[in-house]
Structure 1
Amino acid sequence: MASDLPPDTTARVTDRPGDASPFALGLLLRRAHWRAAAVMEEALRPLGIELRHFAVLIVLVDRGPTVQRDLVAATGSDKAGIMRVVDDLERKGLAVRRTVPGDRRVRAVEITPQGVELFDAAHVSAEPLSARLVTDLGPGESERLMDLLTRFAHPEEKANEKASAHDGA
């Protein structure tokens, strides 16, 4: 009968400080994302857009005109979701769809000058709010956190740096 009891719950995964389970990093990153997303949504709300809209604008600013299927991959969205976001951006005059030369069926999404203005305004709006995210960190810790997260999120960049250094040696 004792084997029917659930295992001891003290060793179960959480996202609380000190959790050493193999899931702890992912759970902490998720919690950090939720916190950062809430602050960024607060910055975007007065501008009339949501984080999902801003994610597409980021890609368009970074890559230039981008076909919708590539927006799906770049934002982690799905095809229907991207269609709705691009529809919203077009309605607001922040992006336009254009045909791709050589393939009438494919549309590339391009940011408009009004979209670039809003993109820049979002950064100004977010600046004081983003400072709230790191108020509990000590001197230099914010920069260290950014460095660690960048290396964690973009491991291929580090691999490319090592390969370049090896080629030049």
Structure 2
Amino acid sequence: MSADLPHHTTASRATGRAGDASPFALGLLLRRAHWRAAAVMAEALRPLGIELRHFAVLIVLVDCGPTVQRDLAAATGSDKAGIMRVVDDLERKGLVVRKAVPGDRRVRAVEITPQGLELFDAAHVAAEPLAERLVGELGSDDAERLKDLLTRFAYPVEGGA
């Protein structure tokens, strides 16, 4: 295995600390920012009785309409077993229903219920003050600029990256 590794060393090793100049710095910063944002959003969802993994599925359903579990797994970065557990949880809470897909008896589409839509809207109301706190140390222009930069990074223009 060591024969496959380069034989030179670099003065810039990944540390995960602020100011890290390694090639991993951006990824480490994004991971840390994600953890911070996820913790704040989880705080908003906790009183509603759901977790981020549940909310991620609701986002897809609101955005795309009824969706088969295979596509939910792909859209949320989950695996087949994980998405099944999340959909089971949401179904038990009355937030989604599984419905037959015409033409394929084996496949079920997951659809958000009116109660699920109500909770989805309530989550946004609960998250608003926490989202403001999350970017509170940034000026409003910086918060908008960060959102714009992250959007461009996450959704590159075709052929860009």
* TM norm structure 1: 0.86
Structure 1 residue aligned with 2:4: none
Query: Would you say how many aligned residue pairs link Structure 1 and Structure 2?
Result: 153
Deviation, structure 1 residue 10 = 7.1
Deviation, structure 1 residue 9 = 10
Q: Determine helix, strand or coil for the equivalent of 1:140.
A: helix
Q: Determine helix, strand or coil for the equivalent of 2:127.
A: helix
Q: Match for 2:108: what amino acid?
A: R
Q: Percent identity?
A: 82
Q: Aligned partners of 1:53, 1:19: CA distance in 2, in Å?
A: 34
Structure 2 residue aligned with 1:5: none
* 1:75-90 mapped onto 2 (5 Å cutoff): 75-90=76-91
Q: Aligned partners of 2:146, 2:60: CA distance in 1, in Å?
A: 23
Q: Match for 2:123: what amino acid?
A: A
Structure 2 residue aligned with 1:60: 61
* More off after superposition, 132-141 vs 106-115: 132-141
Deviation, structure 1 residue 136 = 1.2
Structure 1 residue aligned with 2:158: 159
Structure 1 residue aligned with 2:73: 72
Structure 2 residue aligned with 1:47: 48
Q: Determine helix, strand or coil for the equivalent of 2:41.
A: helix
Q: Match for 1:69: what amino acid?
A: R
Q: Determine helix, strand or coil for the equivalent of 1:120.
A: helix
Gaps of 5+ in 1: 1-7, 163-169
Q: Aligned partners of 2:140, 2:114: CA distance in 1, in Å?
A: 38
Q: Match for 1:114: what amino acid?
A: Q
Q: Determine helix, strand or coil for the equivalent of 2:158.
A: helix
* 1:9-158 mapped onto 2 (5 Å cutoff): 11-155=12-156, 158=157
Say if 2:12 and 2:21, in contact at 8 Å, map to a contact too.
no
* TM norm structure 2: 0.90
Q: Aligned partners of 2:123, 2:60: CA distance in 1, in Å?
A: 15
Deviation, structure 1 residue 31 = 0.4
Runs of 4+ in 1 over 3 A off after TM superposition: 8-11
Deviation, structure 1 residue 11 = 3.4
Q: Aligned partners of 2:153, 2:140: CA distance in 1, in Å?
A: 21
Q: CA RMSD in A?
A: 1.9
Q: Given the superposition, is the C-alpha separation of residues 139 and 126 from structure 1 closer, same or farther in structure 2, using an over 3 Å criterion?
A: closer
Q: Determine helix, strand or coil for the equivalent of 1:98.
A: strand
Q: Aligned partners of 1:68, 1:74: CA distance in 2, in Å?
A: 10
Report the structure number with the largest CA radius of gyration: 1
Q: Aligned partners of 2:140, 2:92: CA distance in 1, in Å?
A: 44
Q: Aligned partners of 2:140, 2:126: CA distance in 1, in Å?
A: 24
Higher helix proportion (structure 1 or 2): 1
Q: Determine helix, strand or coil for the equivalent of 1:152.
A: helix
Q: Match for 2:151: what amino acid?
A: T
Deviation, structure 1 residue 20 = 1.4
